[in-house]
Structure 1
């Protein structure tokens, strides 16, 4: 996906407020909320605290497609703003601000909320046994959905280390032209191959304690790491504003076509016969390939689509963008609460999913917005004054 390298002494682009990235970030968070809203109503492949009586296998392609692009696209956008922040602040302040912005909320919710809740759910086992069970589960019970924040901290620290070395060698930042069709195709094929090989050992929904401390779903790490790195390259080359519209349109079609293949597999009732979450066989290769083309196609296509559609800033968009970080942090417990509240209703699975999704989005962003008016909570949830790319940056 990386385009041709340019060695110039022209500085990186000076960005004003990129409205389309604000809207894209809000849309991604809404996708994440919808993903978790569906967890109680279909075959997740993982674990969820509630399984409703109303279920549908049609959520399976929805989970797979959403996971193939949602958080990967969020890593892409997050990586896009890292070089700008580092260039402006320097390594020391950059790391301090990242800790305050990401590390403090992560530590608070993991230790004060997640761990006590899991301890109570597990009927208060002996402490040593409880800690061993958390480690065996890849610390997922500690992080839950906030593993994303832990990875952002790690990737940011690696970026700082890389910049400290690379800046000594060459102080002129490397820039890359926006990728064309060949580069995007190479990225998609390479991502499919690497993902397939990784899944020989680590299946989807298998969590491990990365470096002993960080919850990680290794089967999806190639996607997350590569898109974060590409986000950094995208900033240097101003890709998001320079990718040709036709390139975006074609790859959006590719991503949608791969999505339709996933839906068709479910429609013909051949999911387990055709696709696998891991292993060396052709089923795992096909799923890895479809996910890679969904990831590459929709990542490029959605960025360009949002760029073409959303131009004008508004107070509502600025408020939603500012609240998006808090909405991500808070949404899991809101969604689970809504699922529990309507569990007893005799409604089809998709109706319940729609109710939880809509109310979950409204409540998560609404509470996130209101939290900006409370100083202590505002600091904890990162809902300060709106700036470009501040949330998740």
Structure 2
């Protein structure tokens, strides 16, 4: 979630569709590489973990409790966000000299909202909540019809997992695009009626996480414990080898076949997912109060950050300062403001109870 703030704060310094062009924007500041690197793996990891904890809730509490929990944590924020956060984004971007196609909030140039609660409504960065609603509804329907639980024989589960791992390779192929319109990472599904390719693409990561719950190694250990072994190698190879090769395959020759780019981009996603899980299991194996607090706050911060990023950038875009200074200012100021609002207006209120459950105020 917190990487999302950095990703959107980097967009003004290289993207041509940001509402207000930045005076320090340049193609030589590596912000495009940063955004592509984050976009190429961030939400993939998010959906894999979401699938894992969806299976955990289903197994421990049952279908009714799962649906109630996800309706409260995901459904309500999504519906409220459509009539609060999305209009704030549109308001923050209003009055700018937008390029043809408008401002999408995430870098695709999708049209701004002219219709509400229609298939073409722009969801901006709230699309991930809509996808979670769809996936949980599919799980609930399948469980209701078949009473199926994530308890498959090890060989069958391994075969299904292997097949699911291959699905993003197939879905990435149509999303890369062709010619000068090629993109890095999956297509961003901004609308209420999502495109099939990104819906299936992220569903594969969700399903892998779902099936990892309950999986066991030959030694009897939890399957999720095996994910992330050798994480230093996974991260090094993904960042230093696969990522540059994927970028080169995507853009060095726009007339070349897109299959190598699709394969390399997907390899990068899986490598980073595995590596980041291993990194954080190693770095955060013990409970830490500050980390727990940031984890609680990160959901609120991500939901509310985009209108502030747009507004704050509008205030500083003419500064005679390096892009790195303005980028850091954006990240720090937006996060600080939202941490303050979280502490005093969210954490111990009904909003906090909806987003992450009740928290006890210290004496």
Please state whether the residue corresponding to 2:258 is helix, strand or coil: helix
1:258 alignment counterpart: 242
1:37 alignment counterpart: 9
1:158 corresponds to 2:138: yes
1:173 alignment counterpart: 151
Unaligned runs of 5+ in 1: 1-28, 124-129, 276-280, 387-393
Q: Is the 8 Å Cα contact of residues 372 and 378 (structure 1) preserved in structure 2? A: yes
Q: Is the 8 Å Cα contact of residues 65 and 259 (structure 1) preserved in structure 2? A: yes
1:274 corresponds to 2:253: yes
- In the alignment, the residues of structure 2 paired with residue 274 and residue 152 of structure 1 have an alpha-carbon distance, to the nearest angstrom, of 36
- In the alignment, the residues of structure 1 paired with residue 195 and residue 225 of structure 2 have an alpha-carbon distance, to the nearest angstrom, of 32
Q: Is the 8 Å Cα contact of residues 371 and 381 (structure 1) preserved in structure 2? A: no
- In the alignment, the residues of structure 1 paired with residue 144 and residue 161 of structure 2 have an alpha-carbon distance, to the nearest angstrom, of 29
Of the two structures, which has the highest relative contact order with CA contacts closer than 8 Å and spacing of 6 or more?
1
- In the alignment, the residues of structure 1 paired with residue 309 and residue 55 of structure 2 have an alpha-carbon distance, to the nearest angstrom, of 34
Deviation at 1:133, TM superposition (A): 5.5
1:287 corresponds to 2:261: yes
Deviation at 1:119, TM superposition (A): 7.4
Match of 2:330 among 336, 351, 356: 356
- Deviation per residue, 1:145-188 (Å, 9 max, x gap): 11111111111110111222332xx66722658x99x9999766
Q: Is the 8 Å Cα contact of residues 42 and 56 (structure 1) preserved in structure 2? A: yes
Deviation at 1:225, TM superposition (A): 1.2
Deviation at 1:81, TM superposition (A): 0.3
Match of 1:147 among 102, 127, 130: 127
2:207 alignment counterpart: 229
Match of 1:240 among 204, 214, 224: 224
- In the alignment, the residues of structure 1 paired with residue 302 and residue 85 of structure 2 have an alpha-carbon distance, to the nearest angstrom, of 15
Q: Is the 8 Å Cα contact of residues 138 and 216 (structure 1) preserved in structure 2? A: no
Deviation at 1:308, TM superposition (A): 2.0
1:216 corresponds to 2:194: yes
Rate the CA distance shift 1:330–1:174 in 2: closer, same or farther, 3 A.
Answer: same
Unaligned runs of 5+ in 2: 96-111, 216-221
- Deviation per residue, 1:335-366 (Å, 9 max, x gap): 22321221121112222112212333343344
Match of 2:22 among 47, 52, 58: 52
Please state whether the residue corresponding to 2:21 is helix, strand or coil: coil
2:109 alignment counterpart: none
Rate the CA distance shift 1:134–1:59 in 2: closer, same or farther, 3 A.
Answer: farther
Please state whether the residue corresponding to 1:274 is helix, strand or coil: coil
Any residues of structure 2 matched to 1:8-87 within 5 Å, and which? 29-43=1-15, 47-57=17-27, 58-87=30-59
- Superposed CA RMSD in Å reads 3.7
Rate the CA distance shift 1:74–1:337 in 2: closer, same or farther, 3 A.
Answer: same
- In the alignment, the residues of structure 1 paired with residue 282 and residue 353 of structure 2 have an alpha-carbon distance, to the nearest angstrom, of 34
Q: With structure 1 as the length reference, what TM-score do the two structures score?
A: 0.71
- In the alignment, the residues of structure 2 paired with residue 273 and residue 229 of structure 1 have an alpha-carbon distance, to the nearest angstrom, of 34
- In the alignment, the residues of structure 2 paired with residue 335 and residue 301 of structure 1 have an alpha-carbon distance, to the nearest angstrom, of 29
- Deviation per residue, 1:208-234 (Å, 9 max, x gap): 687xxx253655434311111111112
1:332 corresponds to 2:306: yes
2:169 alignment counterpart: 192
- In the alignment, the residues of structure 1 paired with residue 236 and residue 149 of structure 2 have an alpha-carbon distance, to the nearest angstrom, of 39
Q: Is the 8 Å Cα contact of residues 297 and 342 (structure 2) preserved in structure 1? A: yes
Any residues of structure 2 matched to 1:74-153 within 5 Å, and which? 74-115=46-87, 118=90, 138-140=120-122, 143-153=123-133
Q: Is the 8 Å Cα contact of residues 80 and 233 (structure 1) preserved in structure 2? A: yes
Rate the CA distance shift 1:232–1:189 in 2: closer, same or farther, 3 A.
Answer: closer
- In the alignment, the residues of structure 2 paired with residue 316 and residue 271 of structure 1 have an alpha-carbon distance, to the nearest angstrom, of 40
1:6 alignment counterpart: none
- Deviation per residue, 1:58-107 (Å, 9 max, x gap): 32222222111011111111111001112233222321221122111111
